[in-house]
C-alpha cells in the first residue's frame, strides 16, 4: 500500500545518540548486514558534500524559483545526513581505526577527483544517478525493515531509516535539476550506471575489509549468509532499478510508502521518538495516523 500524495521536504534535527559500548555488529543476528551498512555509512561524509557542491554549482543556472527552493532544501537535508553519519562513523572507527582511515581516504580522493576533473554535466548525472538508486534502496529498506533491522540497535536502525525516508522525500530534486540543465537521456543512464557501480563497489570493498578483520570473510557459514542476504536485497532492488531505465521515467511516478507517512507522524509527535525506533515501531510507528 502506498499513499497517493508525496511528502514535502522537511529539515529534521533528530537527536541520534549511541551507547559508548555499542557493538560493531549493531544487529547481532545479522553481522554481515551490519558491516554492509557500516561500509556504506563511511561514504556519506564524502559523497553528500560532493552532491551539495554539485547542486550549488548549477544553482545560478536554474531559473525556476520553485526548483531553486527545492534545491536549497535538498542541500539542507543532505547536510544533516552527512553530519549525522559522521557521528555514527566515529563508533565504527573506534572498533576498526586503521580500516576506517584507509577506506575514508579512498572515498575522499574519489569525490575530490570527480568534483575537480569531471564536467558539471557528468557530476549532475552522477548526482541524479545516485539519488535514483537511493530512492530504490529506500523503498527496499522500508519494505524489508523488519527482516533487516528487527532486534537491532535502535539508534542505528533509526539513523538509516531516517536517512532513507528523507531520500524518498527529496527524490524529485536532482532529477528536475538535471532535466533543467541538460535532460539528456543517455547522460542520465551514464550517471545511473557510474554512480551505482562506484558506490556499490566502494561499499563492497568496505564490508569485505571489515568482515576480514572480523574473521568472517573466510568463514563458509558467514559467506553463505552474506550471499543469501545479497540475493534477497538485489531481488527486491533490481526491479526498482530497472524502471529507472525507461526514457519516460520520473521519480514522482514512484508513490511514497505508507510507513513513511507514519514515520513522519511519529517524528512530529517528538523528534526523539524517531531517534530510538524499536521493533514495534518498525511494524507500525503511528497506527492512528495511518487510519485517518
Mean per-residue pLDDT, 103-129: 98
| DSSP one-letter string for 222-270 | HHHHHHHHHHHHHHHHHHHHHGGGSTT--GGGSPPBHHHHHHHHHHHT-
Q: Which of 43-52, 86-95, 269-278 has the lowest mean pLDDT?
A: 269-278
Mean pLDDT, rounded, of the chain: 94
> Contact, 7 vs 169, CB < 8 A?
yes
Angle at 45 between CA 44 and CA 50, to 5 degrees: 90
64 falls in which pLDDT band (50, 70, 90)? very high
228 falls in which pLDDT band (50, 70, 90)? very high
Is the pLDDT at 284 greater than 70? The verdict is yes
Mean per-residue pLDDT, 222-227: 98
Residue 270: per-residue pLDDT: 86
Mean per-residue pLDDT, 262-283: 90
Compute how many other C-beta atoms are within 10 angstroms of the C-beta atom of residue 60. Answer: 8
Q: Where are the domains of the chain?
A: 31-254, 257-292
Angle between helices 65-95 and 31-58 (to 10 degrees): 140
**Grid cell locating 177:** 535539476
Residue 290: per-residue pLDDT: 36
Is the pLDDT at 271 greater than 50? The verdict is yes
91 falls in which pLDDT band (50, 70, 90)? very high
Q: What is the pLDDT of residues 162-181, one digit of tens each?
A: 999 999 999 999 999 999 99
Is the pLDDT at 90 greater than 90? The verdict is yes
Question: Considering the chain, what percentage of its residues have pLDDT values greater than 90?
Answer: 90
- The three-class DSSP label of residue 281 is helix
Is the pLDDT at 204 greater than 80? The verdict is yes
Amino acid at each position: 500500500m502506498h499513499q497517493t500524495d508525496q511528502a514535502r521536504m522537511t529539515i529534521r534535527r533528530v537527536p541520534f545518540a549511541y551507547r559508548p559500548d555499542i557493538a560493531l555488529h549493531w544487529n547481532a543476528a545479522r553481522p554481515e548486514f551490519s558491516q554492509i551498512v557500516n561500509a556504506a555509512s563511511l561514504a556519506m561524509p564524502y559523497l553528500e558534500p560532493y552532491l551539495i557542491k554539485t547542486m550549488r554549482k548549477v544553482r545560478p543556472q536554474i531559473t525556476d524559483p520553485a526548483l531553486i527552493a527545492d534545491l536549497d532544501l535538498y542541500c539542507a537535508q543532505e547536510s544533516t545526513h552527512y553530519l549525522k553519519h559522521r557521528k555514527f562513523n566515529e563508533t565504527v572507527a573506534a572498533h576498526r581505526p586503521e580500516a576506517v582511515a584507509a577506506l575514508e581516504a579512498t572515498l575522499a580522493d574519489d569525490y575530490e577527483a570527480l568534483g575537480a576533473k569531471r564536467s558539471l554535466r557528468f557530476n549532475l548525472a552522477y548526482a541524479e544517478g545516485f539519488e535514483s538508486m537511493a530512492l530504490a534502496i529506500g523503498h527496499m529498506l522500508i519494505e524489508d525493515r523488519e527482516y533487516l533491522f528487527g532486534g537491532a540497535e535502535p539508534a542505528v536502525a533509526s539513523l538509516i531509516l531516517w536517512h532513507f525516508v528523507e531520500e524518498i522525500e527529496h527524490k524529485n530534486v536532482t532529477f528536475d535539476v538535471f532535466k533543467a540543465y541538460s535532460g539528456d537521456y543517455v547522460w542520465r543512464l551514464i550517471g545511473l550506471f557510474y554512480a551505482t557501480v562506484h558506490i556499490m563497489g566502494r561499499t563492497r570493498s568496505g564490508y569485505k575489509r571489515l568482515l576480514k578483520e572480523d574473521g568472517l570473510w573466510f568463514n563458509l557459514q558467514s559467506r553463505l549468509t552474506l550471499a543469501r542476504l545479497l540475493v534477497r536485497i538485489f531481488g527486491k532492488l533490481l526491479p526498482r532499478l530497472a524502471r529507472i531505465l525507461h526514457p519516460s521515467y520520473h521519480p514522482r511516478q514512484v508513490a511514497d510508502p505508507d510507513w513513511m507517512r507514519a514515520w513522519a507522524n511519529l517524528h512530529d509527535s517528538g523528534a526523539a521518538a524517531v531517534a530510538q525506533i524499536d521493533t514495534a515501531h518498525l511494524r507500525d510507528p503511528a497506527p492512528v495516523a495511518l487510519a485517518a
